[in-house]
Amino acid sequence: MMRNPLAVHVDFKEINGLLGKRLPSNIDMMMERHGHFLIGEWKRDNEKISVGQQILLKQLARVDKFTVIVINGNTDDGMIIKKFWKLNKNETFSLLGTSLQEFKDYLVEWDSNAN
């Protein structure tokens, strides 16, 4: 469910090349609770994170009170979660879960820890 059904993907073609190869990045999921931030990037099977987005997510993962997760799944016809990982400060990944229920449990745990 999108809160704003009129929200569409932003096209940055008008600023392409303005800052060299750099363009703004689209973040799929962001939450805040008492100064703690949860950032999630969703990828389908075989979809890669671009180099620029990798750099951005790694830098965000290093910031105190920021948690970055990468989710393999989609929300085309209901929420499908195959696997999801935490991006650690040292740029390694830790597997957090392999199901929608584990994803839900993680969200509740993250929220509880942020309180």
Q: What is the pLDDT of residues 80-96, one digit of tens each?
A: 999 999 999 999 999 99
pTM, 2 dp: 0.89
- d(C-alpha 45, C-alpha 62), whole Å: 26
User: What is the structure's pLDDT at 23?
Assistant: 85
Q: What is the pLDDT of residues 19-74, one digit of tens each?
A: 998 888 889 999 999 999 999 999 999 999 989 999 999 999 999 999 999 999 99
pLDDT band at 1 (very low <50, low <70, confident <90, very high): low
Q: What is the bridge-based pairing of β-strands 36-43 and 66-74?
A: parallel
